[in-house]
Amino acid sequence: MAASSTTEGNSSGEGGLSCDIFAGEWVPNPEAPYYTNKSCWAIHDQQNCMKYGRPDAEFMKWRWKPNCYDLPIFNPSQFLEIVRGKSMAFVGDSVGRNQMQSLICLLSRVEYPIDVSDTGDDRFKRLQYKIHNFTLASFWTPFLVKAKEHDPDDTIGAGLFSLYLDELDESWTTKIDEFDYLIVSDGHWFFRRLIYRHNGRPIGCHSCMVQNLTDYPAPYGYRLAFRTAFRAIISRENFKGITYLRTFSPAHFDGGAWDGGGNCMRKRPYESNEAILEGVYLDMYNAQIEEFRAAEKEGRQRGLKFRVIDVTHAMLLRPDGHPSGYGHWKNASKPNDCVHWCMPGPIDTWNDFLLDMMKME
């Protein structure tokens, strides 16, 4: 199972006893959802399952119940008071952006932000909550480290990326000093065709089909990318904020891969004893956690706080929460999406976790 053994995600349960908020079950929540696709403009079409005709709504009506604690539902007023005068950045891929959009929608019951971005690139957004003087930003970095896509006209280049595992992606690493909170995550891009480079030289690959290069499983590059990313954060002398690692979020393709007709049509969550984290997903999770622990220890020497939002086990149990074929019109020639999460939906729980942890600081 994916429940974390670290203490950073623990909350104070009844009687002040320590509780692992990431070990538990999904239980019915008839009061949900707390926003809709019509009340929140921040939902991207790809996660707007109700817009595109998803016929069932039960996937929105569950909440996470830790085994030893009643995790509160997200309170937008409380969150905005905690972050008054502060700033938060989401660093990672489109699943991380999915969480940021969930946060915007949850906060919309109190305040909507205005766009103060200094670029028209939607991958790098900066939003301002004027009433609470709170800044929310996103930095797109699907590999966390420097990466380059090969020329598709090259005989080996179609869909192939070079990852410079020891080099920083300066599109985000040079811009974090001002932030009080970093939410760092990444995941499914590491299953693509990749060439791994160190000191600029190829040292191996993942599914690259290039002669004379050793093929490594996805967790190899994943581990080294997080190692470099964490070191980049620790080395920023002016960064004084809290870093939250949001752990790997499993996909749930059934009957085929993402590009081979795979789907995810389940209508209810699994119970905790119905699903086990195993195989490459377990290896990805373990690589993250091990690099996190090393960074936490090193960061502590510089007075930095590292925390883990361990969503892996909870989301392993939610094959019902993906857009599947409801992230686009039926006549669109697009694969089913069993990676991202419908909004409203189970991803809103990630921000329940986040707020509960922020209250403990």
**Rounded distance, CA 218 to CA 209, Å?**
14
What is the layout of strands, in order, in the sheet containing 201-206?
145-149, 160-168, 193-198, 201-206
Provide the 10 A C-beta neighbour count for residue 280.
13
Is the four-CA dihedral 101, 282, 62, 324 of positive or negative sign?
positive
* Active-site residue, selected from the candidate residues 337, 348, 352, 356: 337
* Active-site residue, selected from the candidate residues 4, 11, 87, 94: 94
- How far is the CA of 122 from the CAs of 126, 169, 292, in angstroms? 9, 18, 29
- The answer to whether the CB of 264 falls within 8 A of the CB of 254 is yes
Provide the 10 A C-beta neighbour count for residue 228.
22
**Rounded distance, CA 185 to CA 96, Å?**
6
Judge whether 272 counts as a catalytic residue: no
Write down the residue that tokens 């909550």 correspond to: 129
Judge whether 356 counts as a catalytic residue: no
Judge whether 340 counts as a catalytic residue: yes
- The answer to whether the CB of 117 falls within 8 A of the CB of 137 is no
Catalytic positions, written as ranges: 94, 337, 340
